[in-house]
Structure formats: C-alpha cells, structure tokens
Amino acid sequence: MSDPSPGDRPAIEISEDDYPEMEAVAAIQRGLHAFNQEMGGPYDREPVTVLARDAGGEVRGGLLGLTYWNWLFIDWLWMATELRGGGFGGELLERAEAIARSRGCTHAYTDTFSFQAPGFWSRHGYAEFGRLEGMPPGHSRIWFQKTL
C-alpha cells in the first residue's frame, strides 16, 4: 500500500507541547490501549503493589508492576539503602510473582540499569534478553525475563 498523496490526507496540525493537557495524554493512552487489545486481545491490566514498611508505617521499599497478557511487568523495585542485602527485595519479588501466578501469569519481565542491581535479577532466576550500551553514558540498560 502506498502513502496517500498530499491532497488525500486530512488536515492535521502537528505541534509540540511541553505541558500537554491530561485529556491529550489520556487520548493517546486510550488509542494505544484500544489498538493493543484489538491486535493482541484483552489484557486486563491489573496493578501489583507490594510494600515494605518499618514499625512506624513508613515505606522503606516496594515493588510496583502490572499483570497483563499472562505476564508480570515489574516497573519499579526499590529498597532503602540501609535495608539492601537483607533479603527484603527478594521477599517483595516473591510476593509479586505469587500474585502474578494467582492471576494466571506464566512469565515476568523487567528492566534495570547496570549501576542498580542486575545480579539480583540473575540470582532470582531472571535471564538477560536485551541490553542498550551507553544508556546512560558509561552504563547499560538491561532487560530480564523469567518463566514463572
């Protein structure tokens, strides 16, 4: 199929917007979600949130993610510096994976940076499947996946 000739195109104004209105952002999100579901089927996106709180109730770590299309996407995993290495991150991850399995998920994926903790993901059964060198300069962005 060839591109339409300039005379066949609808009148559309292309503009830049450093501070788009929420409705503009929502229109883009709705449009892409609708297309994704048309092509890949309904994905019933559900959030996954697992928190680590201290005795005073303050959040000292947590995991934020989504389940959809039988996958768990781990978007954020963070622990306060003084709690790292104590096994809490692994507990958060195990809880998130259990939630995902209960929703019928069979796989999980995430991305991290080389200066974060890529070894953490490997220790928990995740395998690297992609890497961008020099993002940010001097480091890498790394993608991991796991069969649940």
Return the minimum-mean-pLDDT range out of 31-40, 52-61, 77-86, 133-142.
Answer: 31-40
Q: Domains in the chain, ordered, with CATH?
A: 54-147 (3.40.630.30)
Q: Which tens digits make up the pLDDT trace of 50-97?
A: 999 999 999 999 999 999 999 999 999 999 999 999 999 999 999 999
Cβ contacts of residue 111 below 8 Å, gap of 6+?
130, 141, 142, 143, 144
First to last CA, the chain: 41
Q: So what's the pLDDT on residue 43?
A: 85
H or E element, residue 36: helix 22-40
Q: Which tens digits make up the pLDDT trace of 87-96?
A: 999 999 999 9
Taking the C-alpha atoms of residue 117 and residue 77, their distance in angstroms, rounded to an integer, is 10
pTM of the predicted model as reported, rounded to 2 decimal places: 0.85
